[in-house]
Amino acid sequence: MGKRRFGRIAVWTIVFSMLLGMTAAMAAPNTAYAAEEAGTVWAGLSDTEYVPGEVIVKFKEQRSARGLMSGLSFESTAEQAGIELNQTQQLANGAAVYETGGEVLETVAALQDDPRVEYVQPNFIYRLTGFPDDAPDDADWAAQWGMHTDTYGVNALEAWTYTTGNPDIIVAVIDSGVNYDHPDLQGQLTELNGTNFVPNANYNVNQPMDTDNHGSHVSGIIAAAANNGIGIAGIAPSVRILPIKAKEDGNAYMDGVAIYEGIALAAARGAKVVNMSFGGGFLDRLMYELIRDHPDITFVAAAGNDGMDNGEFSVFPANFTVYNEQGGISYPALPNIVSVAALNSVGNLAGFSNYGKPEIYMTAPGDGIRSTCASTPYCNMNGTSMAAPFVSGAAALLYALDDSLTPAEVIGLLIDRATPLASLTDKTKFGSTLNSAASVAYLANRASAATASPESGAVSRGTPVALSTDTENADIYYTVDGSEPTEVNGFRYEGPIAVETPVTIRARAYANGKFHSKTSSFAYTLRSDTASLSALSVSAGALSPAFAPEETEYTVDVANDVNAIEVTAEASDSNAALQLNGGASVTGSVYGSIALEVGNNPIKVKVTAEDGIAAATYNITVNRAEADGGETVTPPPTPTTPSTPSTPSAPSTPPSKTTSEPAPSVGPGGTITAPPKLDSQTGTAAAEIDAATMSEAIGQAESGSGGKIIEIEIPAIDGARTYETTLSASSLAALPADTRLRLRTPAGTLTLPGNALNLRTSDGASKAAWSISLEEHSGGRPEIRLQLKVNSLPYAWSNEDAPMTISIPYSPTAEERADPERLVIRYIDKDGQAIAVPSGRYDSSTGTVTFSVTHFGDYAVAYVRRSFDDLEGVNWARKPIEVLASKGIVNGTSAQSYSPHAQVRRADFLVMLVKALGLSASVEGGADGRFDDVPQGAYYEQAIGIAKKLGIVTGTGSNLFSPGQPISRQDMFVMTAKALAIAGGEGSAEESSELSAFSDANDIAGYARPSLALLIREGYVAGDKGKLNPRSSTTRAEAAVMLYRIYSTYRLHE
Annotate 335-348 with b (16+ C-beta within 10 A) or e (fewer): bbbbbbbbbbbebb
Q: Which of 114, 175, 284, 481 is catalytic?
A: 175
Considering Cα of 761, then 764, then 765, then 766, what sign does the dihedral take?
positive
Tabulate helix, strand, coil % of the chain (nearest 5).
20, 30, 50
CA angle 927, 933, 936 (to 5 degrees): 70
User: How far apart (Å, rounded) are the C-alpha atoms in residues 752 and 127?
Assistant: 65
Backbone φ and ψ for 944, nearest 5 degrees, come out as -70, -40
Q: Which of 114, 176, 182, 214 is catalytic?
A: 214
CA angle 552, 557, 563 (to 5 degrees): 110
Amino acid at 421: L
User: How far apart (Å, rounded) are the C-alpha atoms in residues 949 and 927?
Assistant: 12
Annotate 69-102 with b (16+ C-beta within 10 A) or e (fewer): eeeebbbebbeeeebebebeeebbbbbbbbebeb
Would you call 182 a catalytic residue per the annotation? no
Q: Which of 353, 371, 385, 517 is catalytic?
A: 385
User: How far apart (Å, rounded) are the C-alpha atoms in residues 774 and 563?
Assistant: 50
Residues 914/1049, Cβ–Cβ less than 8 Å: no
Amino acid at 878: R
Residues 979/1049, Cβ–Cβ less than 8 Å: no
CB count, 10 Å around CB of 967?
21
Residues 224/371, Cβ–Cβ less than 8 Å: yes
User: How far apart (Å, rounded) are the C-alpha atoms in residues 139 and 230?
Assistant: 8
Amino acid at 917: L
Would you call 214 a catalytic residue per the annotation? yes
Residues 538/596, Cβ–Cβ less than 8 Å: no
Q: Is the peptide bond before 317 cis (omega within 30 degrees of 0)?
A: yes
User: How far apart (Å, rounded) are the C-alpha atoms in residues 475 and 493?
Assistant: 7
Backbone φ and ψ for 157, nearest 5 degrees, come out as -60, -40
Residues 755/802, Cβ–Cβ less than 8 Å: yes
User: How far apart (Å, rounded) are the C-alpha atoms in residues 1040 and 1053?
Assistant: 23
Backbone φ and ψ for 834, nearest 5 degrees, come out as -95, 125
Question: Across-strand partners of 804?
Answer: 853
Considering Cα of 580, then 583, then 588, then 593, what sign does the dihedral take?
negative
CA angle 298, 301, 306 (to 5 degrees): 170
Characterize the bridge pairing of strands 329-331 and 378-382.
unpaired
User: How far apart (Å, rounded) are the C-alpha atoms in residues 523 and 455?
Assistant: 8
Would you call 845 a catalytic residue per the annotation? no
991 burial type by CB count under 10 A (0-12 exposed, 13-18 middle, 19+ buried): middle
How far from 775 is each of 720, 721, 837, 853, 861, CA to CA, in Å? 11, 8, 19, 19, 11
Which residues are marked as active site?
A: 175, 214, 385
